[in-house]
Structure 1
Amino acid sequence: MDGQPEKTVFVPRSSSAPKDLFQPGDVVGQYKVERVLGKGGMGVVYLAKHTALKKDFALKVLPTLLAQDQSFVSRFKKEGVMVGRLKHNHIVNVTDFGESEGKLYLVLEYVDGGSLEEWFEKNRKPGGGARAAEVQRLTIQILQGLAHAHEAGLVHRDLKPANVLLEKTGEAKISDFGLARVGDEAEYRRAGGTASPFAGDSVTTTGAMVGTIDFMSPEARNMQPSDARSDIWAVGVMTYYLLTGKKPHGFAEPPSRLVPGLDPKWDKFIKVCLAVDPAQRYQTAAAALAALRQIPQGSGGRSWLAPVGLAVVAAIGVAVWQWPRPVPAGATPAPAMKPEPFPVPPKVETKPMQPAAPIQRRFALTGLPVGAVVTYRDRNHTVGASGRMLLDLPPGPQMVRVTTPGYLDWEGEIGGTAGELEVVIPLQLVPPHPVRFTGLPAQAQVKIADQTVAADATGAALVELRPGHVTLTATAPKYETLELGMDILPGTETLALAMKRLPPAPEVVVKLPDGTALKFKWVPAGSFYLGSPADERGRQRNDLPRAKTEIPKGFYIAETETTQRQHRVLTGKNPSTSRALGDETRPVEQVAWRDLTGPGGAIEKLNEVLHRLELPYQADLPGEVEWEYACRAGTDGALSDGSNLTNERDDPALNALAVYARGGGSQDAPSPVAKRKANAWGLFDMQGNVAEWTYGIRGKREPVLRGGSWKVGAVHCRAASRVEVTPETRPTDAMGYRLLLRPLED
């Protein structure tokens, strides 16, 4: 490239490259990230595949810093809606935009032929430009895309070869509409600007410049308002560069002086594009397009050039163009050189060089959906909220085409009847087709418009839908309501959904037949350190070795040890020695293993109650690992409040938590439950009072007593303390139990 390499300038701008925001395999909306396509100042572009359509898209993720700017987010969304309405063969269409994990993203059609910049490097002549016929073909396509965007009210502001992508077929598509505006405006404001040059306001702060300087118009360089004519300037610079291999810095020679055989009409086209005064440029992309089409195709070589033609070239031999350079603040402009004027008309033509035929009538197409695209003479027109489209038609029948999501394409003649000035386009809805939604809970209710369908046992729901935008609502017990909008395409067959499960209730209360309540507290899944460290005070040889252990599923565990009343109502018996004291709020004791796990035992009886009450739980004893996890309640000390023993006979911390043999003595009986402090998960008497039956770590047939009792000292009441027994072990007045509920799987 000629001169300094192309660069995007903004003062100040961070020079650090954006980090990858997503990794291959991440799912953003309905798109699975495959790999990075490129990185730039405005973020990272990924190749992503639509999970249902199996189609490639480009996913452009903007920098996280911008996503934290609420004013930028608001402009981005507004601009995204406008850009999303652009539907043209020579514009990279935006199909979706949104937020994921606090990051803003755009979804664009994937163009797989590289950029115009890459094409030029492959197709230019050594030290020169590309074939004029190819340059003309591509520039025509660029102007067609610009014309469509300008009509929709969008200006690019950073048009350059790197922002023009090519299909493998060679068709050009302009990319990054809208990002140049919202992104650069955000940076301009952060730099200290108090008014926006992008919205046509005056500029009150200097020192900020936005755009790619090699293709930046004079008004943009001077921080003046930019409009569609600034894009025309960029087209002129690109055309000059593609033809000559040079950029028109300083005093630039006309391209026909640099490219032997180039038609001089190229000189006039580029000179009008590059007029310093925007009023002297082509005023619209359509006007520039009309002028470009007047240049004979294939005018890249003139072997037929007559001596007269050579004489004309010689006559303008030293003709040059003056390229405007910005003058530093405070500096005195150097005297302008006065080159021999380049032969151009005294006044720039701002109308197409071949005006259209005189307009005979204004014709109205009615009954159209908002956003429908009417194509007439290769130009696309988008229907607004009125549902009408006005076209200027010459006499006679004219062919038009109407396309819009959810309707069959319509193509036909209009205006063929004398005196006819309006017609209703008979659009037909696309027939519905089945769309399968997966990933739902069984029997979830899926509602779209007036249709409600239940998911089957596999979690799939089949709904007949027409292409277009729909809003889906899914509901299911134990799940949060899911509501989202989505675009149904003609080829959409399957869409995966994900409903978020409601958090478990913090407490479950089971009412026994006589009204006695059993309260259970929720214990969440997690991890903890099982067992005791080697240096723990009071450590016993039966303690399990310390190891980090996972609890993969949450469960409910009884708030207290099972009381004598609860056990009597469940089983019809109270074997406790302390029943003579007349207080059935004490924990039941003298309970054998078979009294819990055998036929007619407490576990079986509670499951009968759960079944009768239609509660979705399975009653059981805790495993000793679950018991210790619940006892510690997220702490890591020897006791259930996270503290450690400081006295093995009379420990102050344990005194607040447990009923045990303080000072080597003994209580007369176990205490009524819940008379000491609960742990962090609301569980009482996890240490002391009565030792609790649990399933041992080696299996359900090898029980273990946990928690110590009212008859033993402090060292036996630690969270890690355990006593291995057998199913045949004879019960004592220090042995009780605590029940557990496991949620049934849906």
Structure 2
Amino acid sequence: MSQAPTWIGHTIGERYKIEELLGQGGMSAVYKATDPNLKRTVAIIIIHSHLSENPEFVRRFEQEAAAVAQLRHPNIMQVHDFDHDGVTYYIVFEYIPGQSLNQKLQDLRAAEQVMPLDEVIRIMTPLCNAVSYAHRQGMVHRDLKPSNVILNPAGQPILLDFGIAKILGDNYVHTATGATVGTAQYMAPEQVLGEKVDHRADIYSLGVMLYEMAAGRPPYEGNSAITVMMKHVNEPVPDARLFNADLPPVYNTILEKALAKNPNDRYDSANELAAALRDVSDAPAAPIAAASAASVTEVLSTPQAETAVDTTKPAGKPDPTPAATGAETAVVPPPPPASATTVETPPQAPPSTTAAPPPPIEPTGKKSRLPLYAGIAVVVILLLGIGGFFALRGNDDSRANELAEATAAPALPPAIQPTGEPTATEEVVVLPEPTEETATDIPEPTPEPTEEEATAVPTPTPTIEAPPNMTLIPAGSFLMGSPNGQPDEQPEHEVTLDAFFLDTFEVSNADYRECVAAGGCEQPVLTNAFTRQNYFNDPAYDNYPVIGVRWTHANAYCQWAGKRLPTEAEWEYAAAGPENFTWPWGNRFDPALSAAGSPDTQPVDAFPDGVSPFGIFNMAGSVNEWVQDTYDPNFYANSPAENPLNEAPGNRIYRGGSFANENGAFYTTSRRYNKSISTFDVDLGFRCAQDVSSE
């Protein structure tokens, strides 16, 4: 193939001024450019024109670009724009200087060092949260690996490569033969076998990264991609403490669960994995459980130089990472070389597991799409260096036969070692054709294991049962406030909270009347609503939120009920979730998902499509809600990092939003309001919280 013309010194799209080539492959080139309109540096991937001439290819590319452009997360690289200049198509990303996680791990390995565990957790916890956020948007990455993570100058991890993520939804068929493409060292067993792939394949890949970062090497290595892939299918996970004796046992337990062969045995969500990591920080190291000398010898005998995929760059290609000269390292890894081994096998029909999808996090009214990746995905993935699009490489029939033999029998032997000459280059492997269920919606949480299964996995943490009509909000961290909000919402800052329970619904008229009848509460100051007479006492409105209550009334009710008012931080975390949503349901305001377009309050269980990530109802209306804290416009500047609470004298805070106003700015999860404790109004109510017992 002839060399594509350079764009350096030219302008594309009559806007972006191309400055520097960051990387190039057979299907695309990655450039550093300037956007003069917004006066910022960007990264641009330009598709070579011979691909742009294919309308089907262009359509698929635009679909993927549009999908990833919808993601808004501080740890996911943003798409700014995509368009075409004549027959040349391009996509514009934010440009982030930094070092790839893969390069950092290579440097540590070369120095015979491993990453400190606290640094592993600091990097991987926000990455897990970012992946979980993308899963909630219906996107599965399918190619998570250290080379798709950039550590920016502040050390924050930024995830790349959602350009090839599958868009779950409307049966759009993007490909033709069901090929599975991925980097062998990080592929889940179901990807290797051509079975259906869902969000749990990403959890497996995160587990491989966690293993490699803490142990100094991935769990499986070999002299070819096929060797490594078959190890994922057949071999147990080596104890990571064989390579890093300082790891606490709980960390190894996390690895075993994340790297379970059966997707049903893994963590149900990446957020659950992140929560497990946060619990590791102070866990002590312990000796490795007794293992036979033979098993240890087998693990240690794998030559570390035989890394199959992605740990070294192929010879003869330019390194996109500049030498240590002080120059910035581009966030965009370059496309790999245009020659490699492609392995194809006859279509197979491996067994697949089927699980029903859970209730969606996003509003159910949104249109969904269900793509089916197949053979043309090989071409799609060739496209983008940053999008994880690999260059197409030559065929090797002998390796195709090996993989066909390895997967023909229903039960695979304990180990399959393919023959053939070792290769140090990355392989793009076309695997058995998946079943018709290759692309599925994200399944329901894993059913309880049988007694026999339970004995084969680590003992889970005891389930915490929430009180009636309350929801457990697990311990976690989030970014409180908003850099784009009101002055008192700034600065945005990280807050860590202990677990707590929160009322799933606002306190209703019926709830509050019970407290009044018991002598625990005063009558509300208002008994009529904005448009309704006898609102508080009319049974027709029993399931509507109580209004006309002062902060003192709300506090008294919660105490009577054996609860308390939530803190401001607890309220915001329950509303925004670990993904830091702008509104409880996501980052796009829709008045139909709350009482914003209603003339008065609505039932406490209304708008089920607008619940928060934790399933809490009506956190963007239909009444504002008192919280425990005293208002201080400058509190965020000096807020405690853990369980913040301001109890100084002064006005009290209320949160949420009310009704009859479709301006979304009044309903954001970070918006703060305050009034004196004696204030009451037709749109002011509350809900309660409760501590989680430490017993």
TM-score, normalising length: structure 1:
0.43
Which has the bigger relative contact order, CA under 8 A and spacing at least 6? 2
Which structure has greater strand proportion? Answer: 1
Which structure has greater helix proportion? Answer: 2
- The structure with the larger Rg is 1
